[in-house]
Amino acid sequence: MQVTPLVWIVTILVTIAFFVYEFFAHVRKPHEPSLGEAARWSAFYIGLALLFGVGIGVTNGWTFGGEYFAGYLTEKALSLDNLFLFIVIMTGFAVPRIYQQKVLMIGIVIALIMRGAFIAVGAALIENFSWVFYLFGALLLVLAIQQLKGDHGDPSDGRFMRLVRRILPVTDEYHEDRLVVRKDGRRFVTPMLLTIVAIGFIDLLFALDSIPAIYGLTEEAYIVFTANAFALMGLRQLYFLIGGLLERLVYLGQGLAAILGFIAVKLVLHALHVNEVPFINGGEPVPWAFDIPIWFSLTFIAGTIAIATVASLVKTRADRSRAVEEAAQR
């Protein structure tokens, strides 16, 4: 893709404008969004993301369009897992519902900034060091195994947060949505600030798997950035729309593990296809290695998400029916 500096600047400014509008229109005044409000804005952002992908396909060819859609689907699926941990953190810190929008907004902005930094670093590595595909592939295999285990723990009570609590004096209660308060002449941080710190830490961990994952689908930094930006846009509304549904997606972790594992294999095959590492095949490309076409990647990712979602809903419905029957028998 030929992306000029002007296009980059306009894209970044428009992205910032969306988040600024979100803050002043919806987040500045604390409130809990209604189901209708969350549904309307979720549909708007998903529709905008799909329209943007069509625009890439029309203007730059459907190879790049397919890469964008595969990347967007992958990042959206990973964002849902991110959203589940946001729920765990909010519950752990007992954040009042009317203030959760602010925490989510700050967390999403932190996520976008961190991913932007990783995108820039990833692009530079890929451009100058082809061996990085091996590294990304190995990292994704490890992350796929971790997803398969599915034990995220409680981020609000992990080692990192216990260290933060030892360093910073923390109040026992919330003071509206303030981050810092003064009591008896001393300055204290509130649980609101701890929640934001915890979400920022989780964002850092998720950036470590989301960026290598999408670079396994495209080497275009512009597609990587826009797919990530659109995946994060509307995440706040999605939190209030499907918060309860996320608990029913019991096979989401396995689905993400399959996607990350698939992309890891794709990365390793691509690394072998363009190999320059001296101790592998004498520094020459491996003849039998091939690049998996983007249409297959897109089909695999979409199919995996669909299967994981349907299987999860079937299982939770069966478990619920079984629980009702057992309760009736008692």
Q: How far apart are CA 42 and CA 258, in angstroms?
A: 26
Q: Give me 283's structure tokens.
A: 């520094």
| Environment class of 173 (CB within 10 Å of its CB; exposed 0-12, middle 13-18, buried 19+) | exposed
Contact between 191 and 89 under an 8 Å Cβ cutoff? The reply is no
Low-confidence ranges of the chain (pLDDT < 50): none
Q: Which long-range contacts (CB under 8 A, 24 or more apart) does 27-31 make?
A: 27/101, 27/102, 27/105, 27/236, 30/98, 30/99, 30/101, 30/102, 30/176, 30/177, 31/98, 31/101
Q: How far apart are CA 296 and CA 298, in angstroms?
A: 5
pTM: 0.78
Task: Report pLDDT for 158.
Answer: 66
Please calculate the CA angle 20-24-25 and round it to the nearest 5 degrees: 110
Contact between 165 and 129 under an 8 Å Cβ cutoff? The reply is no
Contact between 200 and 110 under an 8 Å Cβ cutoff? The reply is yes
Helix extents (H) in 168-234: 191-215, 221-232
Q: How far apart are CA 55 and CA 16, in angstroms?
A: 20
Q: Give me 170's structure tokens.
A: 């923390």
Q: How far apart are the first and last CA of the chain?
A: 65
Task: Report pLDDT for 157.
Answer: 63
Q: How far apart are CA 157 and CA 35, in angstroms?
A: 30
Query: Which one-letter DSSP state was computed for residue 291?
Result: P
Which pLDDT tens digit goes with each residue over 71-102? Answer: 999 888 887 777 777 777 787 788 887 888 88
Residues contacting 322, CB < 8 A, separation 6+: none
Task: Report pLDDT for 150.
Answer: 65
Contact between 217 and 74 under an 8 Å Cβ cutoff? The reply is yes
Residue 94 CB neighbour total at 10 angstroms: 11
Task: Report pLDDT for 94.
Answer: 81
Q: Which residues, listed in sequence order, are joined to residue 188 by a DSSP beta bridge? A: 181
